[in-house]
Amino acid sequence: MDVYLDYQSSKPVDPRVIEAMQPYFYTTFGNPSSLHSSGDKATRVLDQCRHTLADFIHAQPDEIIFTSGATESNNLSLIGYAMRNKNKGNHILISEIEHISIHNIAKYLEKNGFTVTKIPVDQYGRVGLRKIEERITEKTILISIGYANNEIGTVQPIAEIGKLCKGKGIAFHTDAVAAEGLLPLDVEKDNIDLLTLSSNDIYGPKGVGVLYGAKGFRMTPIIIGGGQENGLRSGTENIPGIVGMAKAAEIIQKEMAEEVKRFQGYRDRLIENILKTIPRSHLNGHPTERLPNNAHFRFDGIEGESLLLSLKDKGIAASTGSACSSKTLEPSHTLIALGLLHEEAHGSLEFTCGRFNRDNDIDAVLKALPEVVERLRKLSPLYK
């Protein structure tokens, strides 16, 4: 692709990360569970990486659990915590616009004796504290609200939600994948008990993730085996991948302020120019409380899939929503939750910029998109 603006679905691995990983494939390849010197080296590396990832979110090293990715971390946090604490209650709250992995985990829990209540959002995708409070019962043991939405970019009032949960003695989980590397994360300040991270979303390798679990929060493991990761995630640790994730976190901590400023410039250029030059175009998500790299639009009278294919022909990669559910023909559950009609939700297009974008990428979109929209509308029976 000449222009890649789908960084929310997948990011390239930073070359500096690849360089850091290389020795752990063929020279320092020991198993941390082994008792010889090679195993000792691997253990030291694993401990160093645990410290780095803990610093990234202001946690303690022994609160970091390495997993195979965000989906596993979400499973361990929700299923593991719910099963371990079902004697305290069987009620869980999630928002209507959670990532599809959270929704499917919720369905699994419902089949296994739990009650899940979905909290509605406003027209911008924000969860209100009053709506949470109204749905809490004496059996509520866990609330899971994503830090920011991976489609529309809306950022949630996480600190306020965390304070509410702490005051009521309810565990608070947040999937922070969409926000990591774009917003500062502080589990202590925000009263977060369980937090999900993904390696690839900070320019590390795929197949690695982290679950932060605050001290004292006990979970039932969902992968049983040799008892690695304090018995919570069995399986030989993926040392090269973990090294890559730690290096990615180290880089992004140093460079985030500069990157975010650049991304905001790209985002604001897209929003301002597209809304100004394309009639009957609309911004999805919150106008100000949104991720710095996210510009999500809908266009009356045309479908997002047609827009994607037309932009693809011009060498531009974008998205219509979550890559994890993009193969279905159903409209985004997030956009429907905002109150949009099905035909409105189908006309959406998402641009997410990243580390390797430059000004000319935005120029290319602003040149191509008005022509594409105009041509598709002329062909559309829905546009009047």
Mean of the per-residue pLDDT values for the chain?
93
Q: Judge whether residue 98 has pLDDT over 70.
A: yes
- C-alpha to C-alpha distance for 199 and 209, rounded to whole angstroms: 5
Out of 3.40.50.1000, 3.90.480.20, 3.30.420.40, 3.40.640.10, select the CATH number for domain 15-251: 3.40.640.10
The predicted-structure confidence for 3-36, as pLDDT tens digits, reads as follows: 999 999 999 999 999 999 999 898 877 666 565 7
CATH number for the domain running over 3-9+255-379: 3.90.1150.10
Residues of the chain with pLDDT > 90, as a percent, come to 80
What mean pLDDT is predicted for residues 316-322?
82
Q: Does residue 165 carry a catalytic annotation?
A: no
- C-alpha to C-alpha distance for 201 and 209, rounded to whole angstroms: 10
Q: Judge whether residue 321 has pLDDT over 70.
A: no
Q: Kindly report the backbone phi and psi dihedral angles of residue 353, in degrees, each rounded to the nearest multiple of 5, phi listed first.
A: -95, 170
Whether 307 contacts 349, CB under 8 Å: yes
Higher pLDDT, 342 or 317: 317
Residue-level pLDDT at 30 = 65
Q: Residues 49, 165, 324, 353: which is the catalytic one?
A: 324
Which DSSP category does 77 fall into?
I
The predicted-structure confidence for 343-371, as pLDDT tens digits, reads as follows: 888 889 999 999 999 999 999 999 999 99
Question: Residue 162: which residues within 8 A CB-CB, separation 6 or more?
Answer: 172, 190, 191, 192
Residue-level pLDDT at 1 = 59
First to last CA, the chain: 33
Structure tokens at 48: 């160093």
Hey, what amino acid is at 225?
Answer: G
Residues of the chain with CATH 3.40.640.10: 15-251
Residue-level pLDDT at 304 = 85
The predicted-structure confidence for 169-182, as pLDDT tens digits, reads as follows: 999 999 999 999 99
Residues of the chain with CATH 3.90.1150.10: 3-9+255-379
Residues of the chain with pLDDT > 70, as a percent, come to 94
The predicted-structure confidence for 266-303, as pLDDT tens digits, reads as follows: 999 999 999 999 999 999 999 999 999 999 999 998 98
Q: Judge whether residue 324 has pLDDT over 60.
A: no
Report pTM: 0.94
Higher pLDDT, 321 or 338: 338
Q: Judge whether residue 189 has pLDDT over 80.
A: yes
Helix (H, G, I), strand (E, B) or coil at 355: coil
Whether 318 contacts 293, CB under 8 Å: no
Q: Judge whether residue 122 has pLDDT over 70.
A: yes
Residue-level pLDDT at 39 = 66
The predicted-structure confidence for 210-237, as pLDDT tens digits, reads as follows: 999 999 889 999 999 988 888 898 888 8
Residue-level pLDDT at 322 = 47
Question: Which run of H or of E encompasses 211?
Answer: strand 209-213
Higher pLDDT, 57 or 384: 57
Q: Judge whether residue 383 has pLDDT over 90.
A: no
What mean pLDDT is predicted for residues 41-65?
94
Half-sphere exposure of 24 (CA within 13 A, CB side): 24
Question: Residue 206: which residues within 8 A CB-CB, separation 6 or more?
Answer: 10, 69, 199, 200
The predicted-structure confidence for 129-172, as pLDDT tens digits, reads as follows: 999 999 999 999 999 999 999 999 999 999 999 999 999 999 99
Give the chain's largest Cα–Cα span.
74
- C-alpha to C-alpha distance for 173 and 140, rounded to whole angstroms: 13
Helix (H, G, I), strand (E, B) or coil at 249: helix
